[in-house]
Amino acid sequence: MPTFDEILNNAGPLTLRQAQGSGTSLSKEEIKALLAAEGEDKKKLFDRALQVKLEHLDNYVHLRGLIEYSNICTKYCLYCGVRCKNLKVKRYQLSDEEVIECAKLAHELGYGSVALQSGERSDKAFVDKITYLVQEIKKIDNGSLGITLSLGEQTEETYRRWFEAGAHRYLLRIEASNEDLYYKIHPHDAKHDFKQRLTCIDSLLKIGYQTGTGVMVGLPFQTFDDLANDLLFFKQKDVAMVGMGPFIPHPDTPLWEYRDQIPSAEKRMELTLKMIAILRLMMPEINMVAATANQTVDPQGREKAILAGANVIMPNLTPNEFRENYLIYPDKACVKDKPDECHSCLDVRLAAIGHKVLYNAWGDSVAFTKKHQ
């Protein structure tokens, strides 16, 4: 087993593999050694990840204006505050006009892309409605907005329909790539089938979406082996985007019962940052989201994620009166911010850490673009 410095040096940006953008091949044991880094080693890991990111992607941050379309969901994932069995949630669905207004606002603010997210439904009315909304968003300024969808598991036919309507990115988090762990955070039934989740990710890749996935970090029962395998899973699937955030227990969910069996919020945050940094070494040119969950756990969390290797932020454009009802986890950051406040706040926050927003661009994954040239 190489020393920590040897692992990091081999994972540096100066090797031919890195220069070609293919990233380094870390073994599971090497990833675990990096996950365990403390003190000076931890700082070296973050410094190296930032160096790799700047060399491959510069200091740009891409924005996706987040539209939380509806909190109506047919599933009951054990960690999620929006699960259909949580009867305390007031359910909503934005009108067509509200969605289009949000998308127009994203365009006016120069965000370049929107992300349409919702609880999971696959009935015909929902599928038709999303198709229509994607087509309408595409009409804004002659298709100038990029569209990411995050609408859960669907049939390949549905994914294809939405792709043909104009969506070109899809985010479907695996949440845990270990099947046993998956069933500790999801019910073990036909509606929450691990293999189906994998099939969906494969369908998205096959259709040609810039496919994103991700996991929660600091789950009950999760081990360093699981986390290392999650990173190897992303690499093996060769995904274009990854979103990772600390697990935040929600009081109205079954996983709340295990809140005393997880690392402290500080540790979950630190582990998330290490996951981002290690993945940046492994996949230098993918897009990685600085998730809002980071900022919920730590007021500087999003900036820390950017400095650890992330390059995408998703400012929330959902009308304020609905945001309180889309709480997958509690105390979500920025729920009360108005979109324009969020906008100026981001510029200032990013400038303070030597980064800047790339406005009016789709901000596609460089890894994906190179692969499909």
Nearest to residue 245, comparing CAs of 178, 298, 191, 185?
Answer: 298
Phi, psi of 362 (to 5 degrees): -70, -30
Structure token pair of residue 372: 């499909």
Nearest distance in Å: CB 185, ligand SF4: 10
Rounded to a whole number of angstroms, the minimum distance from the CB of residue 329 to ligand SF4 is 10
Give the C-alpha separation, 119 to 328, whole Å.
10
Residues that bind ligand SF4 (CB under 6 A): 73, 75-77, 80, 82-83, 119-120, 152, 328
Q: Which is nearer to ligand SF4, 187 or 263 (CB)?
A: 187
Nearer to ligand SF4, 11 or 77 (CB): 77
Residue among 162 and 368 whose Cβ is closer to ligand SF4: 162
User: 8: Cβ–Cβ under 8 A, 6 or more apart, which residues?
Assistant: 34, 44, 45, 48
192/343 with CB nearer ligand SF4: 192
Report the first-to-last Cα separation within the chain, whole angstroms: 38
The distance of closest approach from Cβ of residue 287 to ligand SF4 in the complex, given in angstroms and rounded to an integer, is 21
* Nearest distance from C-beta of residue 328 to ligand SF4, angstroms: 6
Q: Residue 294 Cβ, how far from ligand SF4 at the closest point, in Å? A: 18
Give whole-number Cα distances, 54 to 58, 59, 232, 349, in Å: 4, 6, 23, 18
In our burial notation (b when 16+ CB lie closer than 10 A, e otherwise), range 238-252 reads: ebbbbbbbbbbbbeb
> Between 98 and 252, whose beta carbon lies closer to ligand SF4?
252
Are the C-beta atoms of 328 and 33 separated by less than 8 Å? no
Closest CB 118 distance from ligand SF4, rounded Å: 8
Name which of 33 and 291 has its Cβ closer to ligand SF4: 291
- Residue 67 CA: distances (Å) to CA of 118, 161, 225: 8, 20, 35
